Amino acid sequence: ERLKNDFQFLEVERQGPNKIEADIRKQQFAEIYEPFNSEDASEQSHRCLECGNPYCEWKCPVHNYIPNWLKLVSEGNIIEAAELSHQTNSLPEVCGRVCPQDRLCEGACTLNDEFGAVTIGSVEKHITDTAFAMGWRPDMSKVPVTDKKVAVIGAGPAGLAAADILVRNGVKPVVFDRHPEIGGLLTFGIPEFKLDKDVMVRRREVFAGMGVEFRLNTEVGKDIQMQELLDQYDAVFLGMGTYTYMKGGFPGEELHGVYDALPFLISNVNRCLGFEKDVADYIGVEGKNVVVLGGGDTAMDCNRTSIRQGASSVTCAYRRDEANMPGSKREVENAREEGVQFMFNRQPVEVVGDAGKVTGVKVVTTQMGEPDENGRRRPEVVAGSEEVLPADAVLVAFGFRPSPSPWFAEFGIELEQDGRIRTSADEAFAFQTSNEKVFAGGDMVRGSDLVVTAIDEGRKAAEGILDYLKV
């Protein structure tokens, strides 16, 4: 019996949760994976080799105790697994859904290649979803009481993770966000087919139950001033993200019908969630031939949102080859299944139009050249390869640059040359800015990256704040 269990991976294949058929899922803004049932989660968890040197744990940015919670799930011990999972991650059910596991934990699993990695992400999601459904909530009974309070600006993953660590150490976090719901890009960016919006609503209730206070619809610098926060709180954490849209820098980007990715995605969320203030704010591509420019997660989300809105065709043009795409392989596969056409090695050089309206995108073919300083192969243009892809809507998803607030300088918060916030590398006061009372983390410090890396920095910065407050 024991021997059979140890070699479960030989008998049980890697099997993720059921995925809804593409024809059905492309008609709805809802998650495409069904939940694991307990038997499947247990059986899949049991495939873990407990290989002694858990590379998965090292590759996971928050260093989750993966083999330990896989074992608990295989034994049916969901509540203990949830407790353990929350020791290292503030939003495990979110990471289980949106982390690019193929590049992180699962990509490092010893069973990879030959047998298929353990379905770590799906199990992580299963643990917290199931524990919450069973009524489990984080245990706050042993939290010490202090009289300290910290203002957190931004209810994205970085801010929420900071609030989580602070409240668990008896420091009262008050989280300010300009949006009407928590989550940052988790709510106003990442679409429902990757992350159901109910997940963040439930998290808000859980955090509120733990003692986190939220002040939504409140923009710092407009509705409340930074000086008030500095006066009223013992420290301030900044987790405000990066919101300057990168441009292609080619002619025609100003034509009618060319949209930045994030306003397009946000307008769709606002419509789905009933937050739309004015119907004119909605950017719809129903019945249009859409060209999406870019190859990251944001581009994939634009592709698949366009499909669901009922675009006539969706073509994604990317300047490198498929192997060099920055986004998650799983999401590229999902997009392809849903009908997105990919054109690799195509670099846009102009958006063409007629009477001020877009009619197409002129691209040139590229081939992969020598690796650059980061080891990524640089695309080179093939002479005479120009062609025009017909389009009546173009979505530009070239990524984000830092968007520092104009008031940072007034409070002595220094920036790196590219606009990211400069923070201390000192372990004792991790993520302290050049204003000793202000800490920062997430995309605004590291540049736009991942949910799990923002969580990691939010948690570390909160530890830095605890050092500073001497609690």
Site residues, ligand FAD (CB under 6 A)? 98-99, 153-159, 176-179, 184-186, 189-190, 194, 219-221, 239-241, 262, 265, 297-298, 301, 405, 442-443, 448-452, 454
Taking the least distance from each CB to ligand FAD, the nearer of 202 and 378 is 202
- Candidates 120-128, 176-184, 219-227, 344-352; binding stretch for ligand SF4 (CB under 6 A): 120-128
381: its two tokens: 């243009």
Minimum distance, C-beta of residue 105 to ligand SF4, in the bound complex (Å) = 3
Q: Smallest Cα–Cα separation from 232: which of 149, 313, 314, 299? A: 149
Fill in the amino acid letter for 468.
Y
Residue 298 makes contact with ligand SF4 by CB under 6 A? no
123 or 314: whose CB is closer to ligand SF4?
123
User: Is residue 191 near ligand SF4 by the rule CB under 6 A?
Assistant: no
For ligand FAD, which is the closer residue by CB, 91 or 364? 91
Among ligand SF4, ligand FAD, none, what does residue 101 contact (CB within 5–8 Å per kind)? ligand SF4
| Total residues binding ligand SF4 (CB under 6 A) | 15
CB 104, min distance to ligand SF4, A: 4
Residues within window 345-384 making contact with ligand SF4, judged by CB under 6 A: none
| 199 makes contact with ligand SF4 (CB under 6 A) | no
Q: How far is the CB of 68 from ligand SF4 (least distance, A)?
A: 12
Rounded to 5°, angle at Cα 283 from 282 and 288: 140
DSSP characters over 155-215: -SHHHHHHHHHHHHTT-EEEEE-SSSSS-GGGTTTS-TTTS-HHHHHHHHHHHHHHT-EEE
Shortest distance, CB of residue 400 to ligand FAD, whole angstroms?
Answer: 7
**Residue 70 or 455: which CB sits closer to ligand FAD?**
455
Q: Which is nearer to ligand SF4, 17 or 96 (CB)?
A: 96
State CA 162 to chain mean position distance: 16
- Who's near 341: CB < 8 A, 6+ residues apart? 313, 314, 315, 316
- Burial label for 285, CB within 10 Å (0-12, 13-18, 19+), is buried
Report what 104 binds from ligand FAD, ligand SF4, none; CB cut-off 5-8 Å by kind.
ligand SF4
Provide the residue type at 25 as one letter.
Answer: R
Angle between helices 157-168 and 197-210 (to 10 degrees): 30
Burial code (b: 16+ CB inside 10 Å, e: under 16) for 206-239 equals bbeebbbebeeeeebeeebebeebbeebbbbbbb
Beta pairing partners, 152: 175, 237
- Helix, strand, coil percentages in the chain from 3-state DSSP, rounded to 5: 35, 20, 45
The reply to whether 45 sits near ligand SF4 by the rule CB under 6 A is no
User: Between residues 99 and 238, which has the closer beta carbon with respect to ligand SF4?
Assistant: 99
The yes or no reply on residue 94 touching ligand SF4 (CB under 6 A) is no
DSSP state of 281: G
Q: Is residue 96 close enough to count as binding ligand SF4 by CB under 6 A? A: yes
Buried b (16+ CB within 10 A) or exposed e, 87-125: ebbbbbbbbbbbbbbbebbbebbbbbeebbbbbbbbbbb
Looking only at residues 412 through 471 of this chain, which bind ligand SF4 when binding is defined by CB under 6 A?
Answer: 452
| Residue 123 contacts which entry, ligand FAD, ligand SF4, none (Cβ below 5-8 A, type-dependent) | none
Shortest distance, position 446 Cβ to ligand SF4, whole Å: 16
What is the Cα Rg of the chain in Å? 23
| CB closer to ligand FAD out of 262 and 466 | 262
> Residue 298's binding partner, choosing from ligand SF4, ligand FAD, none, with beta-carbon cut-off 5 to 8 A by kind?
ligand FAD
Q: Using the rule CB under 6 A, is 404 a contact of ligand SF4? A: no
Angstrom distance (rounded) from CA 47 to CA 109: 11
The Cα 205–Cα 202 span in angstroms is 5
In this chain, which residue has its C-beta nearest to ligand FAD?
156
Q: Cβ 97 to ligand SF4, closest distance in Å? A: 8
Task: Among 64, 334, 347, 366, indicate the residue that binds ligand SF4 (CB under 6 A).
Answer: 64
* Residue 39 exposure: Cα atoms within 13 Å on the Cβ side: 1
Residue 353: beta bridge partners?
Answer: 358
Q: Is 99 in the site for ligand SF4 (CB under 6 A)?
A: yes
CB of 228 to ligand FAD, least distance (A): 13
User: Whose CA is closest to 75, among 25, 41, 125, 105?
Assistant: 41
104 binds ligand SF4 (CB under 6 A): yes
For residue 128, which amino acid is it? T
- Give the integer Cα–Cα distance in Å for 209 and 136: 12
Binder to ligand SF4 among 42, 44, 74, 89 (CB under 6 A)?
89
**Is residue 120 near ligand SF4 by the rule CB under 6 A?**
yes
Binding-site ranges for ligand SF4 (CB under 6 A): 60, 62, 64, 66, 89, 95-96, 99, 101, 104-105, 120-121, 124, 452
